[in-house]
Amino acid sequence: MPQTTAADLKQIVADHWNRRASNFDEGASHGLLNAEQAASWRALMRGLAGDAPLDVLDVGCGTGFLALLAAEAGHRAIGIDMADDMLARARDKAAQRGLAAMFERGDAEAPDFAPGRFDLIVERHVIWTLPDPTRAVKNWFALLRAGGRVALVEGDWDMAPKDEYAAIHSSLPLFGGVPGAELAAFLAAHGFVSVEVTPLMDAALWTETPQHPRYLVVGGRPAHA
């Protein structure tokens, strides 16, 4: 039996999300389904990024959820993803809304940008599906300016592997999510400072009360690093 490489795993993951791209935004945890949900996420982005324009990278951007929120708030946003059909939807949404966010094919584990290029790296629901989250976190650290921050919207879903993930879940170290404190410790172990976890259990964010823990974990690259 030939060995499954990291590239094979990522292709299987991309196949999964390409297959789901056409109706991804219809999910209560994915799109913005009502005005209250939109206002809640806009407030979250404002709290995270502030008002001064930042260089923001959304890794595993999918249909552009966080990158579009950042662009709408006046930041210079780039989203990368490995699933072309998700990226196509992100580009369509940016065009429809007249937003200048850029969307490019790229690997969330190793984004192809110059070191120190970004003030803020964001992701939502991505680290759990990476074959090598350690590599990702090290690269994100390197891509941040001194004093920059990483912000991960994640959860501890305890999900059963299905579809494409049935065959590969055991090769994804954070599959199904982890408690926020564990992800915070993971960031701290890779040099991030002032790491904080904020629960995201407000039903308005998801249009329903979450059944499993959801949270935001933010960590900073030290100002002198």
Residues in contact with ligand SAM by the rule CB under 6 A: 10, 13-14, 17, 30, 60-63, 65, 80-83, 86, 107-109, 124-126, 129-130
User: Minimal distance in Å, beta carbon 13 to ligand SAM?
Assistant: 5
Q: Using DSSP bridges, classify how beta strands 55-59 and 118-124 pair: parallel, antiparallel or unpaired.
A: parallel
Of 83 and 144, the one with the shorter C-beta distance to ligand SAM is 83
Output the 3-class SS for 105-174.
Answer: ECCCCCCCCCCCCEEEEEEECCHHHCCCHHHHHHHHHHHEEEEEEEEEEEEECCCCCCCCHHHHHHHCCC
Q: How far is the CB of 41 from ligand SAM (least distance, A)?
A: 10
Q: Which is nearer to ligand SAM, 112 or 146 (CB)?
A: 112
The helix/strand/coil state of 65 is: helix
72 contact partners, CB below 8 Å, separation of at least 6: 42, 45, 97, 99
Using the minimum distance from each CB to ligand SAM, give the nearer residue, 55 or 154. 154
Nearer to ligand SAM, 54 or 86 (CB): 86
Adjacent-strand bridge partners of 123 = 152
The single residue listed with the structure tokens 């969307």 is: 103
User: Cβ-closest residue to ligand SAM?
Assistant: 62
Least CB distance to ligand SAM at residue 89 (A): 10
CB of 91 to ligand SAM, least distance (A): 13
